[in-house]
Chains A and B, each alone.
Chain A
């Protein structure tokens, strides 16, 4: 069966520090991969999606970047975090027109 792992679960970082969140998928090949951010009590904002290795589409201009170095690995990064980067980050995978499957999320707090 397919599984998705996202880590870390919680992260507290100072302003100006770098960021790396990782997401891996098992049990499927060539999945579409997604990064979302969710503010407390709000909906999901799509940040990046990828349909293949090295292929990244950015939805919102911001302080973040994404990479897909392997078929089932998706990384969200920042060189210098801002206070506004705080939030709940969700990774997801899917195949076209099928439901998305989400990781457990990362709670990111910027101090």
Chain B
């Protein structure tokens, strides 16, 4: 069975501090991994996917197959990063359902 675990419900950091949102997964095979973000009063939207290997809004995430992790990182948190972050996985290649973690609320304070 596929599973995504986000151990922290809430992560509170100061502006300018580094951020790491943890995500571990369980999947038989090679999944696609995603981070989705939901800002206050906005719809859920894709932040980044591991295949793209890109940095979005200063965030990066590296897939570690040995540790089955896909942690989201940003070196310097900004107030506008405050949101709900969901890690998700799907089967490789073609369209298939997303399995989400329970989400981590990131709170960036001054």
Q: Do A and B bind each other?
A: no
